[in-house]
Structure 1
Amino acid sequence: MPDVQISILQTEWVTLQTQYDSYEKCSLGIKLFSILVCCILVFALHAAIWSLLIVAILWLQDGIWKTFQNRIGQRLEVVEQAIQNHSDSTQAQTSQLGMQFNLVWNQARPSAISLLCEYIKQSLKPTVAYPYVILIALVIVQLYVS
């Protein structure tokens, strides 16, 4: 693989890694916003039942956000593998060429049901589910106490 291709892959890796990290920060923002909104609805406005709906919506939104991040992570792995194999390969496959993220994604785009399943799968990961499960439990306890 020519040095130019390696340079392109390295540039793509840096860009994707930066994006991957920014998605993590935004996910944390969604979690903090969820906590704030839930606390306001439960403790200030005494609208605990509405907070369940809001927390569920924000939880799924976080799962969707993490799904986008996961796609970037998958491409990062392909780019890293291509960089690792550059000395052994004289001709890279299309999916290993630099700057192919959108093309590869569109070629493998799942159906609407599969996409929804992917969102739910991401939502159930412990690092995504963590604050939402606690918030929902807090609201349910508050509903029974009130």
Structure 2
Amino acid sequence: MNALHHEWLALQAQHERYEALALGVKLTAFAAIVVVADNTLALALLALLWLQEAVLKTFQSRLGERLLAVERGVKSGTEVAAMQLHSDWLASRPRGAGLAAEYLKSALRPTVALPYPLLMALVAMI
């Protein structure tokens, strides 16, 4: 097995781990509305968890981009330098507002955003 195959296996495992972590954040958000009695604190906690999940999903998407690059290289047989995840990301890393926009874009993805406004509305109604 060559280096790209090893890299793909490691990246895929981490990609799936981020999915599990995001699910854990969602479950924690649900538990927060049950456990936290103060509505203001519960809303703040939900907003923080929403942002945390957005950060996790942003990290996951970076892994996904590298996975796709590795897969293209393996499929086409073209030379792709192995183990360049961070170097490639650093070369295109957004700064300041661009980085914040990347996190916001992740926060607004339907698979991330769906439960949070609903949970916030539920807290507001209680």
Number of equivalenced pairs: 126
1:16-65 superposed Cα distances (whole Å, 9 cap, x missing partner): 00000000000000110111012212xxx2x1121111100110110001
CA root-mean-square deviation: 1.1
Taking the aligned partners of 1:33 and 1:81, their CA distance within structure 2 comes to: 37
**Hey, which bits of structure 1, 4+ residues long, moved more than 4 A?**
none
Structure 2 residue corresponding to 1:102, chosen from 65, 86, 95: 86
| Separation in 2, partners of 1:38, 1:70 | 28
After TM superposition, list the pairs within 5 Å mapping 1:125-144 onto structure 2. Answer: 125-142=109-126
Partners of 1:23 and 1:66 within 8 A in 2: yes
Matched, 1:116 2:111: no
Choose the corresponding residue for 2:29, options 5, 26, 34: 34
Instruction: Quote the sequence identity (%).
Output: 38
Q: TM-score, normalised by structure 2?
A: 0.95
Shift of 1:141: 1.3
What is the TM-score with the length of structure 1 in the denominator? 0.82
Alpha-carbon distance between aligned partners in 1 of 2:33 and 2:92, rounded to the nearest angstrom? 37
Distance 1:135 1:39 in 2: 10
Query: How far apart are the structure 2 equivalents of 1:119 and 1:81?
Result: 26
Higher alpha-carbon Rg: 1
Residues in 2 aligned to 1:120 and 1:27: alpha-carbon distance in whole angstroms:
16
Gap regions ≥5 residues in structure 1: 1-5
- Aligned counterparts of 1:76 and 1:17: Cα–Cα separation in 2: 7
After TM superposition, give the deviation of residue 129 of structure 1 in Å.
1.0
The answer to whether the 8 A contact 1:82-1:97 is kept is no
The equivalent of 2:43 in structure 1 is 52
Post-superposition shift, 1:139?
1.2
Amino acid at match of 1:82: G
Q: 1:64 aligns with which of 55, 61, 78?
A: 55
